Chain A
Amino acid sequence: MFSRKLFGAMAGVAVAALSATGAMAQAKDKIKVGFIYVGPVGDHGWSYQHDQGRQAIEKAFPGKVTTTFVESVPEADSERAIEQLARTGHDLIFTTSFGFMEPTLKVAKKYPNIKFEHATGFKRNPNLSTYAAKFHEGRYIIGQIAGKMTKSNTIGYVGAFPIPEVIAGINAFYLGAQSVNPNVKIKIVFANTWYDPAKEGDAAKALLDQGVDMLAQHTDSPAPIQAAEARGKFGFGQASDMERFAPKAQLTAIVDNWNDYYVARTKAVLDGTWKSEDTWGGINSHMVVMTPYKNMPDDVKKLAQDTEAAIKSGQLNPFKCPIIGQDGKEIECKGGSALSDEQVLGMNFYVKGIEDKIPQ
């Protein structure tokens, strides 16, 4: 679905495209920044937060930067949308879903003068940066909260797809829970969609029906946490603050904060200092923000705050070695005292204690 802004942009295609290809890596007065979202801006979650970042850019550089977004772009069909932005004179293009990786790389190679930024991927090019947030840091904290507060000793997780990003989140969540409650069990359901409120809600209900009383989610709509609220159970907001959908159930939310990063990268293009980089920010760089801890006893709140502080200071790493795999064998520790970034970004195993198998 094309935004109205894009139609406006398409009108000025010819002129803008000429000026874009003519410019080299030097300071610029006016630039256009484009965004590709996997869901609708109104998903209250993932795409919504990226759009907050886009708005932050508009606010930070009034008159200097114009922004465009294309929402609800299917991952399989994204190349066209990305190329469309490239052709309509955008200087910097953010593609904000893992599934956009190959199409982004392909278009980036075709348009070497345009800067690209791909979220949550690992393929780079001289004009293609990658960036992601260490959501697993937040998931470790909510895991501890869930492990402390569960009465049924069974915690649940609604995942989108069994991809490394989601698997790492499940492991961090479970390791957090295990650290305070060694016998806790976890049940996992993949909705096989990032965004289908009704199906996400059904997945949450299936987990709640099977005895789960703490629900974490890695899909984009507030339907799962709302299901927890309706059953008088607890959950955690995903991507954005979901308190208004579940005022009694939301214990905290892991908020993606892209604003600072987007503004910095836009400034780099304006200044002519943009370089292809790999950024992986966490709680310490404010890319991952925890909303206030609510609806929980003071001792659990204290524990969560202490863990957050320890992660922030670098004292605690959720994937601190030794990490034991499902087969009981220790995972090779490639990052010194903890798993290396590559190991986390490519995670394809469950840790010991998770009884489910990763769907292959």
Chain B
Amino acid sequence: MSILEAILLTIVTASTPLLIAALGELITERSGVLNLGVEGMMAMGAACSFAAAVSFDSTILGVLAGMLAGALMAALFALVVLGFAANQVGSGLALTIFGLGLSGLIGAPFVGARRDPIPHVDVPVLSDIPFIGRLFFEQDLFVYASFSLTILIAIYLMRTRSGLTLRSIGENHTSANALGLPVLRTRLLAILFGGACAGLAGAYLALVYTRFWSPGMTNGRGWIALALVVFAAWRPGWLLVGAYIFGAATVLQLHAQAAQFGVPSQVLSAVPYLATIIALLLLSIRHGRAIGAPGSLGAPFVPDR
């Protein structure tokens, strides 16, 4: 394996959890709901997936438990912001704090346990393509899931009726409601989907990335995912670009240090953030028109009776 391939493989690992969590949040926000609880849902996904994977000695059960945990946290959020039309910013922040705390409690008995690496699955034929084949088609299932999700979400949002409904509700929930579109039901499903994705991203962190669990191991990745959604202007394709730029910059700055280029490590540590912001800014300038957030983002919806 050449050093370039090794670097790129690490970049894929670093980018995948960000991409998965951000895709979920993208759907949630496109429906008009701002969920700042990604970090908390991710932490719960990590703790529950690891607990289940160790208890039942099964990665699959672990992944399912992680997604379920994320979705349950999201359900709690949905109850508060949809059921009681509470402030979404406050509720989301509370969800993060709650999730970080509860995950510590759930994970505590599993401190010190470890899991073996999960197998990589080769895609026949495609994995024989030189260079690219090994990078993208000899990965674990999480990576394939993140790519498929990106494509499916892009198609869903722009090419299906249901996707159009979701977007209309996110743009203007009053009009959508007047047209008879199911605002609350659509938002509930979008929130649950976002939670499951955050849980899946957490499962990836605990089961693949580190293969052990420790409190607070998400370390702000949920917040990065949230920021990526904004910088990608709520577009799945750009989100993929943003997540990979962030992952690449994170890994490359470590390599730059090891290669002794002489740039201060503190400066290099800031590179991922700067690179992602600049890249996505350039993308949106090139696109030529202002791209705003979904019109109803963050606004509570109370149906007329």
Residues of A within 8 A of B (CB): 1, 40-44, 71-72, 156, 162, 187-193, 195-199, 201-203, 205-207, 209-210, 212, 221-223, 226, 230, 244-245, 355-357, 359-360
A192 touches B10 (CB 8 A): no
Name the residue on A nearest B205 (C-beta). A198
Cβ–Cβ < 8 Å partners of B264 in chain A: 359-360
Cβ–Cβ < 8 Å partners of A40 in chain B: 104, 214-216
B209 touches A198 (CB 8 A): yes
Bound CA span A31–B217, Å: 34
- The verdict on B269 contacting chain A, using a C-beta distance below 8 Å, is yes
Name the residue on B nearest A198 (C-beta). B209
A189 touches B111 (CB 8 A): no
How far apart are A359's CB and chain B's nearest CB, in angstroms? 4
B254 touches A198 (CB 8 A): no
- The verdict on B7 contacting chain A, using a C-beta distance below 8 Å, is yes
- The verdict on B162 contacting chain A, using a C-beta distance below 8 Å, is no
Name the residue on A nearest B10 (C-beta). A205
How far apart are B112's CB and chain A's nearest CB, in angstroms? 6
Cβ–Cβ < 8 Å partners of B6 in chain A: 205, 209
A192 touches B265 (CB 8 A): yes
How far apart are B17's CB and chain A's nearest CB, in angstroms? 8
B255 touches A210 (CB 8 A): yes
B255 touches A42 (CB 8 A): no
Most A CB contacts (10 A, CB to CB) among B108, B114, B257 go to B257
B114 touches A44 (CB 8 A): no
Cβ–Cβ < 8 Å partners of A226 in chain B: 114, 210-212
Chain B interface mostly helix, strand, loop or mixed?
helix
- The verdict on B48 contacting chain A, using a C-beta distance below 8 Å, is no
- The verdict on B282 contacting chain A, using a C-beta distance below 8 Å, is no
Q: Which A-B residue pairs are the 10 nearest by beta carbons?
A: A40-B215, A359-B264, A206-B254, A42-B111, A190-B265, A209-B6, A192-B269, A197-B210, A359-B265, A189-B257
Name the residue on A nearest B257 (C-beta). A189
Bound CA span A77–B93, Å: 19
Cβ–Cβ < 8 Å partners of A71 in chain B: 215
- The verdict on B166 contacting chain A, using a C-beta distance below 8 Å, is no
- The verdict on B259 contacting chain A, using a C-beta distance below 8 Å, is yes
How many residues of B are counted as interface, with CB atoms below 8 angstroms from the partner's CB atoms? 39
Q: Which of B232-256 contact A (CB under 8 A)?
A: 250-251, 254-255
How far apart are B199's CB and chain A's nearest CB, in angstroms? 17
Number of A-B contacts (CB under 8 A): 115
Bound CA span A72–B217, Å: 12
Cβ–Cβ < 8 Å partners of A201 in chain B: 209-210
Name the residue on A nearest B214 (C-beta). A42
B257 touches A209 (CB 8 A): no
Cβ–Cβ < 8 Å partners of A197 in chain B: 209-210, 212, 214, 217, 219
- The verdict on B258 contacting chain A, using a C-beta distance below 8 Å, is yes
Cβ–Cβ < 8 Å partners of A44 in chain B: 111-112, 212, 214
A359 touches B266 (CB 8 A): yes
Bound CA span A191–B257, Å: 10
How far apart are B142's CB and chain A's nearest CB, in angstroms? 14
Bound CA span A107–B215, Å: 28
- The verdict on B14 contacting chain A, using a C-beta distance below 8 Å, is yes
How far apart are A223's CB and chain B's nearest CB, in angstroms? 6
- The verdict on B3 contacting chain A, using a C-beta distance below 8 Å, is yes
A223 touches B111 (CB 8 A): no
Name the residue on B nearest A212 (C-beta). B258
A209 touches B7 (CB 8 A): yes
How far apart are B184's CB and chain A's nearest CB, in angstroms? 34
17 contacts between A and B (CB under 8 A): A40-B216, A42-B104, A42-B107, A42-B111, A44-B111, A156-B258, A189-B254, A189-B265, A190-B265, A192-B265, A195-B216, A198-B219, A202-B251, A209-B6, A210-B3, A221-B210, A222-B212
Bound CA span A232–B264, Å: 30
How far apart are A24's CB and chain B's nearest CB, in angstroms? 39
Bound CA span A191–B265, Å: 8
How far apart are A259's CB and chain B's nearest CB, in angstroms? 19
Given A43-B214, A190-B265, also A230-B254 (CB < 8 A): no
Bound CA span A207–B251, Å: 11
A210 touches B209 (CB 8 A): no
Name the residue on A nearest B107 (C-beta). A42
Bound CA span A188–B268, Å: 14
Instruction: List 12 extra interface pairs beyond A206-B7, A230-B117, CB under 8 A.
Output: A42-B111, A43-B214, A44-B212, A156-B258, A187-B259, A189-B265, A198-B221, A202-B251, A210-B3, A210-B259, A226-B212, A244-B112
Bound CA span A156–B260, Å: 12
Name the residue on B nearest A45 (C-beta). B214
How far apart are A337's CB and chain B's nearest CB, in angstroms? 33
Name the residue on A nearest B14 (C-beta). A202
Cβ–Cβ < 8 Å partners of B14 in chain A: 198, 202
Bound CA span A42–B254, Å: 26
A355 touches B260 (CB 8 A): yes
Cβ–Cβ < 8 Å partners of A156 in chain B: 258
B219 touches A199 (CB 8 A): yes
B266 touches A1 (CB 8 A): no
